[in-house]
Chain A
Amino acid sequence: MRLPDAYRPGVRAGLAFALASLVLGVSFGVLAEPLMGPVAPVVMSAVVFAGAAQFGATAVLAAGGDAATAVTAGIMLNARFLPMGVAAAPALRGRVLRRAAEGQATVDASWALAVRSEGGFDRELFLGATLPQYPAWVGGTALGVLGGEALGDPAALGLDAIFPAFFLGLLAAELGRPRAAAAALIGGAIALSLTSLLPPGLPVLLASAAALIGLWGDRR
Chain B
Amino acid sequence: MTEVWITIAGLALGTVVIKAAGPVALGGRELPRAASGLIALLAPALLAALVLTDTFSHDGELTVDARAAGLACAAVAVLARAPLLVTVLVAALGTALARAIA
Contacts and interface: CB of A to CB of B under 8 A. Distances in A.
Chain B interface mostly:
helix
Given A43-B8, A50-B15, A162-B92, A191 B60 contact: no
Contact of B46 (A83, A155, A177, A204): A204
A71 B31 CA distance: 25
Interface in B9-39: 10-12, 14-16, 18-24, 26-28, 30-31, 33-34, 36-39
Given A92-B23, A158-B70, A158-B95, A204 B53 contact: yes
A138 interface: no
Contact of A164 (B12, B15, B36, B55): B55
Interface in A165-212: 165-172, 174-175, 177, 179-181, 183-188, 190-192, 195-196, 199-200, 203-204, 207-212
Given A103-B20, A156-B96, 15 more contacts: A27-B92, A37-B1, A64-B60, A67-B6, A79-B46, A85-B22, A158-B96, A158-B97, A158-B98, A164-B52, A195-B57, A196-B60, A196-B61, A203-B49, A211-B42
Interface residues of B, number: 79
Nearest to B36: A83
A84 B36 CA distance: 10
7 contacts: A19-B85, A40-B8, A68-B10, A86-B22, A167-B54, A170-B47, A187-B46
Interface of A: 16, 19-20, 23-24, 27, 35-37, 40, 43-44, 47-50, 52-54, 56-57, 59, 61, 63-64, 66-68, 70-71, 74-90, 92, 96, 99-104, 106, 109, 155-172, 174-175, 177, 179-181, 183-188, 190-192, 195-196, 199-200, 203-204, 207-215, 218-219
A145 B43 CA distance: 29
A99 B21 CA distance: 9
A48 B12 contact: yes
Interface string B43-72: 111111111111111011110001100110
A192 B6 contact: no
Given A100-B20, A158-B94, A195 B15 contact: no
Contacts of B90: 165
A61 B4 contact: yes
A35 B4 contact: yes
